[in-house]
Amino acid sequence: MLRPFFVLPAFALLTTLLTVWFWLARVLHLPGTDTAALVYCRVICRLLRVRVVSHGEPRQGCVLVVANHTSWLDILVISSVAPVMFVAKREVAAWPLIGATAKMRGTIFVDRTQRRQSKAANAEIAARLASGQPVVLFAEGTSNDGNRVLPFRSALFGAARDALANASDGQSIALQPLSLAYTTQQGVPMNRSQRPIVAWYGDLDFAPHLLHFVRRGVVDAVLVWGDPVPYDGSADRKDLMKRLESDVKQQHGAMLRGLARAGERQA
């Protein structure tokens, strides 16, 4: 099949062009980087034949978005809907094409094998939040097969508390659950054994998985933005984590059963 010989070079070319634009924007202090990234991610999703359907509204401003994690596609899918920053594991920076995209979006890379890095990551996340930039945290700490949501880790939730301490007078902070599921392939609902077409996890090699996905393609990615939870620092971190985890699990399960929320909009 010849499709990869068109898609992968086009992906690389668009990523290179956007990298150059971001560099120029930084040097010349040009506006419009969020818009450029949004358009780029929408074009790449179309190129990869990923149809993004979004329910609910992403909150803007000082908000920590807490999401589940299935695939390298997640960053592209979420960024095609909202101008957000990401927290990702350090290895993502080295992924072909996806790593470059993540870097351009100002992703905060974390070495999850080093516990002491959580404090530094929290400080960087807090600084982004206090500056009014929404940040997406993949709270499971790893990706999975797309059939479930793993238990959330609370280590980086401290960033919300740190952001609150650094916030200006009158600035509010919120935590927003985000559920993401890949539901159909070629218009047909995927079953448990088919979701690894999209899901990238464990010890799977990235390049063969990307090539296989490009050949198969045509999937629906569904996002459900939950109701933001105001945060004032008084709530117990673990209790708050469980509340957000429950919301994400509930919506993820509903999406896999074809019962996503009303208010659909397409990216």
Supply the pLDDT for residue 263. Answer: 45
The domains of the chain are located at: 3-266
Question: What tokens were used for 219?
Answer: 């999937």
Count other Cβ atoms within 10 Å, centred on residue 195.
21
Residue that is written with structure tokens 């010890």 in the block: 203
pLDDT in tens, 110-147: 876 666 666 777 788 888 888 888 999 898 888 888 88
Supply the pLDDT for residue 227. Answer: 93
CA distance linking residue 42 with residue 52, whole number of Å: 9
Q: What is the pTM of this model?
A: 0.88
* Residue 47 Ramachandran class (φ > 0 left, ψ -120 to 50 alpha, else beta): alpha
Supply the pLDDT for residue 262. Answer: 44
| DSSP state for residue 111 in the 8-state scheme | -
Supply the pLDDT for residue 224. Answer: 96
CA distance linking residue 128 with residue 63, whole number of Å: 10
Query: Distance between the two ends of the chain, CA-based, in angstroms?
Result: 28
Count other Cβ atoms within 10 Å, centred on residue 172.
13
Residues with pLDDT less than 70, the chain: 1, 112-118, 155-156, 166-171, 259-267
Supply the pLDDT for residue 78. Answer: 95
Give which of 261, 260, 253 is closest to 149, Cα–Cα. 253
φ/ψ of 110, rounded to 5, equals -125, 135
The architecture that CATH gives domain 3-266 is: 3-Layer(aba) Sandwich (3.40)
